[in-house]
Structure 1
Amino acid sequence: MFTKTNLISTIITAIWGFMGGYLLWGVLADSFLNNHLGTAAGVPKEVPEWGLLALGCLIQAFAFSSIFRHWDESRYTTSDGMKYGILIGVLVGLGNELINHATTNVLDLTGALVNGLIYIVFYSVMGFLAGLIYNKVK
């Protein structure tokens, strides 16, 4: 579980999780998603809790990298990583976003679908990075 490759993959994907998440949601999609908020009050927070955000990115990256490690142990490629990331993005992004839309007032349907697609992009890049690391560091 704590191999050199997994550790490096965890660190790199955690950095992507933090910085890429900021880029995708905090910069590129911020105004769009704010225009598609539901009626829930106080969403999103004015200032994130940076320490918890970083810890969450690290935990997520560790789980992502650890599961990917068992994805196809005979070979690791960036393409395999992207396929894995897309599946995780569909699971977390589209699946969870539609469930959230059905049960909460956080985003309208357009916002939920676009947010789900952003998750697919986010996790496909994370998968690409994990595949790259697992391919190069043996």
Structure 2
Amino acid sequence: MFSKSNLLATLVATIVMFFLGYLIWGLATVDFFTEHTIVNAMKEVPDLGIIALANLIASFILSTLYSKWARGHHSLGQGFEFGAWIGALVGLGSGLIAYATMSLMDMTGHIVEAVLDIVFYGIIGAIIALIYQKTAAKS
């Protein structure tokens, strides 16, 4: 669980999650989500320290799960597939429950969020797989 591959994948994935998340949700899609927001529950100034901590925790969990899921066979495609499944769980599973129980966004906002989650976590999964592939013990 605390292997060199896992810790390095966690570190790199944390950094990518933080900056890619900012690029996607903090810059590229702000106007779109503003248009599809029903109730704005966003803080005026987000707590970047807590966001970084959350990314670290999520990256460690994703990396640990990936290592068990991959069973020693690492590729970008397999990592993207792993991450995309996580993104579907988050985006579609939790997203549709949020739509059914809260008035945060309209359905279009939730569907776009789900697609973004699938791609975002797919990229994170591919990065984790790449780190595992490059740090795997040579046989």
In the other structure, the counterpart of 1:20 is 20
Alignment of 1:89-108 (within 5 A): 89-108=87-106
Structure 1 stretches lacking a partner, 5+ long: none
Residue type at the aligned position of 1:27: L
Distance 2:70 2:126 in 1: 14
How far has the Cα of 1:72 moved from its partner? 2.1
Alignment of 1:27-106 (within 5 A): 27-38=27-38, 40=39, 42-106=40-104
Deviations 1:26-66 (A, max 9, x none): 1111110011011x3x4211110111111000000000000
Structure 2 stretches lacking a partner, 5+ long: none
Aligned residues: 136
Residue type at the aligned position of 1:22: Y
What TM-score do you get using the length of structure 2 for normalisation?
0.95
What TM-score do you get using the length of structure 1 for normalisation?
0.95
Distance 2:94 2:115 in 1: 12
Q: Name the stretch that deviates more: 52-61 or 70-79.
A: 70-79
In angstroms, what is the RMSD of aligned CA positions?
Answer: 0.9
- Give the 4+ runs in structure 1 shifted more than 2 A: none
Distance 2:102 2:30 in 1: 19
Residue type at the aligned position of 2:21: G
Q: 1:129 and 2:127 equivalent?
A: yes
In the other structure, the counterpart of 1:9 is 9
How far has the Cα of 1:74 moved from its partner? 3.2
